[in-house]
Structures are given as structure tokens and as C-alpha cells.
Amino acid sequence: MGLGADSFKKGLAKKNWLKKQMVIPTLKSTVVISDRDIQFLAPINAGGQATVFLAKIFNQTMAAIKLYRRSDDMTDCYQRELAILQGTSHRSIPKLLGSFANETHLGLVLELLKGWPLAKLIGHMRARKELISLEIIRYVAVELLSVLSYILGKNIIHQDIAPDNIVLTNDGNVYLLDFGAAIDHAQPRSRPFGKRRYLAPELLEGEPASTVSDLYSLGAVLFEAVLLRPFLGQSYRKEFGLLQQRLAQNHEDLQMVIRACLAPSPDLRPKSATRILSILRKVEITSTAKDKLAQLLTSAGPAN
């Protein structure tokens, strides 16, 4: 095991986070592996729903293991995320390698993404007082709209689109994470879920989530990426004025998309991620944008 892994694993065992056998389903069969074949190395992130650990499987495959503690709410989250990951295939959705369950926890084994959460990159660039290249932001926007168009086409509402749930990998790819809060469009949730800063106004008034509330969240994310400051929605004229200054030349379409997504009324927002995607794709996304993102992350060093 890696440095400190034995003591780390013993600590997990004391908390009943490990069972002696875990089930890793494959396309053709179900493989049962012993805990001796899983090396828990370190915690990666602890969120409100689950904790994610860095691990090695079969002494060769690095993976991220997302553990939900068993409870009615968390079991629902786990089952939703498992079903969505099993039923989707998109370049911007992490691959599901397996799943397991014991008496106290439920777990997802996911491909390991090496890179930066968008939230950390925004904070890093803010600290350096450097803006993110608009070419990179346009590329990220197109990738996010592509995966949003895909999941919305499957009647999935993500509900928690935020910079923390977007990862930019060192090879320049863009991923949307954390489908534990996602719901089916036909069964909207009555209470809002997600970070308040990125929630559409109607959700705060008790309205159910919808495809256009996801688009509002995306608009808030892109606004923050462009200006390195959150969208507060307190003074639209002032905030959109700042947006216009940054996107005044050659990026009017990106400005229009962000403003449309951030419309306070859901009736005024675009009804389709596919439609927005077609607008942004009218300007060619060069292959160098992905390379520039990879170069930015490399120069920034490893995310802390």
C-alpha cells in the first residue's frame, strides 16, 4: 500500500466503512473481490451527501470510491446516481467501474479524474488576478452544454450544477460530476437542492426544478468563470454591464447565452440546451482551446 495506507484502512474498518467483500459488476459477469484487493489511499473530498476516497483496485487500477452512509435520503441519492451512471454514456460523465453495498454504506467505484475542480481554478486565477482565457471558457461552455443536452434528452435534471461539480482534467477534458441529486423530469422534487448561489430564483420560491433551472445554474457558473466573481442577481444592470465589458468583442454570442440563462423568469430562459449549443457552435471551437486548457492546468500545478 501507499504511505500511511495501512493505518488509513484500519481507520476505515473501525468505522465499518469496509466489508470483507465488494461486488464490482462488469458487462458479462459479476466479480467479487476481497478487501485485500482494494487499497484505500486517502480521502479526496467530503461533501454533504458522500465522501470520496482515492483507492487502487486489483493493485493496478486507480479509482475514486464514493461512499454514501446508509439512510433513507442517502440510499435514494445512491440509487439515483447508480441508475444514471449505468444508463448514460457521454465523454463528460465519469465512467462507472462498479458498485458495492454493506450494512452501513453504499459505494460507487468511479474512474479517477486528475485535474482541477472549476471552483478551485476560479479561486486560483482570482488569487493571481488573472482572467481565464475566453477561448477556454467558450470551450468549457460547449462541453457542458453538450452533456446537459444529453442528460436533458434523457429527462434527467441534474439540480446541482456548480463549479465544485465540474472537473477540468489535465488533458483538457471537461466533466460534470455528482448525480446524487438528479431527478427525473417527470417526478420533480418539491424542495430546492444545490448551492443557493447557483439556484434559479423560482426554486427559492418553492417551484419544482426543471430543465430551465439547470440552465440558470449553468449561466451562473459561466458568469463566475468569465468574471471570477459570483452572480448575485441583486443588480442585473450592474452585473450584466460587467459581463458586457468582458465579452464586448467577438464574444457577443457567449454574452447573449449567459444573459439568457440568467433571466429571472423561467419563461424567458432558453428551453433547450441543444438550441444554446447550436448558437455557440456557430463560432468554431478550435482544437487549440482544449490544449490551452491543459496548458493552463499544467502551469497551475496540482490542485490542492
- Catalytic residue positions, numbered: 160
Q: For residues 117 and 168, give the distance between their C-alpha atoms in angstroms, rounded to a whole number.
A: 6
Q: For residues 189 and 76, give the distance between their C-alpha atoms in angstroms, rounded to a whole number.
A: 13
Angle among Cα 110, 220, 260 to the nearest 5 degrees reads 120
Query: Count of residues for the chain?
Result: 304
Q: For residues 303 and 120, give the distance between their C-alpha atoms in angstroms, rounded to a whole number.
A: 7
Please give the sequence-ordered ranges of beta strands (E in DSSP) within the chain, or none if there are none: 21-25, 30-34, 38-46, 50-57, 61-69, 96-101, 105-111, 115-117, 156-157, 166-169, 174-176, 183-184
Contact in structure between 80 and 180 (CB atoms under 8 Å)? yes
Q: Provide the β-strand partners of residue 61.
A: 57
